[in-house]
Amino acid sequence: MLRTLAAALGIIMILGGATLWLLTAPRSLDAAVLAEAPDGDAARGERVFWTAGCTSCHARPRAEGEAVLELAGGLELKTAFGTFVAPNISQHERDGIGGWSFADFANSMLRGVSPGGSHLYPAFPYASYARMDLSDVADLYAFMRTLPAVEGRPGGHSLDFPYNIRRGIGVWKLLNLHPEPVVALADDAPEAVRRGRYLVEGPGHCGECHTPRNRLGGSILAQWLAGAVAAEGDGIVPNITGGEGGIADWSHNDIAYYLESGFTPDFDSVGGAMVAVQKNTARLPAEDLAAIAAYLKAAPPHPNGYPARRPATQ
């Protein structure tokens, strides 16, 4: 009897384990979906490139001018899970992504899966990029093909156990990889708000820093864009909703002007990691900045998603 029970338990555990193993497997895009992708357009892809902010993490740290297009990697993100190192995503055949097919590129952007078929760490913000249109991914791919090949590989990630087990990312994906929009919009929502939702929630990946995360590193969608303790533990990322502590008193123009110039309505300046982001948004067309503003003003308000501030300001 006992032996039967033990055997039954064993079978259940094996089945459960096998199920979990299957559920956590890296999942690539269907060939049929990829086949429908339109040919990419490099000129349109440049706009996607600045929206998606690739260069903020993948250029050499502190790169300026034309050097922001040399995606050699090397930026270190020191987080509670360990240190992530941004890889080389230049067009170098061996050290970058020069050898990637469009399918490889789309699988990384939309599914967080590498060309070798393993999970990528979500420090690469594919949880947001998964909301992108396949046509934008195709345009981005076409633009990135025009960028220089840079030799050299930065070191690998240095992560704490158990985060160093890549298969575990499969569990993270089950919990956090949901390509549908975060904020539900009415059918008659203005086109600018809809476009802004796409830019903010998808390629712009604003929520990756501006939304607090749970202990497993998943975005807490109930506090979407409510601000968070900075992932690198140095300061806070502000609340960009209309809730208490947020930007209710910013006009549409204030938001667009900030993204264009780097100055808040009080003429304080952008700082920290947002400086690199704002350099990208400064290159976006006015209609996209207006759309981002329209969405942020329309998104649900939340109080600050981080602990009470320290008193002083300078």
Partner 1 sequence: MKLLLIPAAVLALSASAVTAADDPIAVRQALMQANAGAAGLSGAMLKGELDYNPAVAKAAIATFNAVASSYGHYFPEGSEGNGETTASPKIWEDMAGFQEAVGKFETDAAGAVEASGKDGPADLDTFKAAVGPVLGNCKSCHESFRVQDN
Interacting residues with partner 1 (CB under 8 A): 230, 234-238, 257, 262-264, 266-276, 278, 310-314
Q: How far is the CB of 313 from partner 1 (least distance, A)?
A: 7
Q: How far is the CB of 238 from partner 1 (least distance, A)?
A: 5
Token pair of 148, please?
Answer: 């220089």
Q: How far is the CB of 253 from partner 1 (least distance, A)?
A: 9
Contacts 24+ apart (CB under 8 A), 232-235: 232/77, 232/78, 232/79, 232/273, 233/78, 233/79, 233/80, 234/272, 235/272
Nearer to partner 1, 162 or 311 (CB): 311
Nearer to partner 1, 81 or 250 (CB): 250
Q: Is the separation of the CB atoms in 281 and 205 below 8 Å?
A: no
Nearer to partner 1, 151 or 268 (CB): 268
Q: How far is the CB of 176 from partner 1 (least distance, A)?
A: 24
Looking at residue 221, the DSSP 8-state letter turns out to be G
- DSSP code per residue over 6-57: HHHHHHHHHHHHHHHHHHTS--PPPHHHHHTPPPP-HHHHHHHHHHHTHHHH
Report the C-alpha gap between 24 and 7 in whole angstroms. Answer: 25
Q: How far is the CB of 266 from partner 1 (least distance, A)?
A: 7
Q: How far is the CB of 210 from partner 1 (least distance, A)?
A: 11
Token pair of 201, please?
Answer: 């929630």
Nearer to partner 1, 65 or 116 (CB): 65
Q: How far is the CB of 275 from partner 1 (least distance, A)?
A: 4
Nearer to partner 1, 140 or 274 (CB): 274
Nearer to partner 1, 135 or 261 (CB): 261
Q: How far is the CB of 52 from partner 1 (least distance, A)?
A: 20
For the beta sheet containing 158-159, the strands, ordered from the edge strand earlier in sequence to the opposite edge, are 76-79, 82-85, 158-159
Looking at residue 145, the DSSP 8-state letter turns out to be T
One-letter amino acid of 48: V
Looking at residue 196, the DSSP 8-state letter turns out to be H
Nearer to partner 1, 217 or 245 (CB): 245
Inter-CA distances, 213 with 33, 227, 307, Å: 31, 10, 13
Nearer to partner 1, 79 or 91 (CB): 79
Report the C-alpha gap between 66 and 68 in whole angstroms. Answer: 5
